[in-house]
Amino acid sequence: QVQLVESGGGSVQAGGSLRLSCVASTSIFSILAMRWFRQAPGKQRELVAAITSGGSTNYADSVKGRFTISRDNAKNTVYLQMNSLKPEDTAVYHCNAVAYPDSWGQGTQVTVSS
């Protein structure tokens, strides 16, 4: 099973930026897709962004135009660049590898203050 480690979370002011990283223990070019989810207290877990093995991307409407998902296969890493952050972006962000079995990272906290 692929092991995933997220980093890059922190506390920022509204309008600021963060870049999250997810490093995999093995190569990611053969994994079907890599995804970022987030969950805040009292809310359901939601899909934020996804990137397929072919490079196609998809975003939640709430982050479209502000967040960008990308990957570096040579570094076994997927990134989530988050710009123009809003307080409602505050959540724990988890990286997910779509495979059999699926793999999940431990999560990284993002806090945005107004």
Do residues 84 and 57 make contact, with C-beta atoms less than 8 angstroms apart?
Answer: no
Residue with tokens 């495979």: 99
Q: In whole angstroms, what is the distance from residue 49 CA to residue 88 CA?
A: 16
**Per-residue pLDDT tens for 92-107?**
999 999 988 889 999 9
Residue with tokens 């939640």: 60
**Per-residue pLDDT tens for 14-37?**
999 999 999 999 887 778 899 999
- The mean pLDDT value for 79-88 works out to 98
Beta strands 103-104; 33-39: pairing state: unpaired
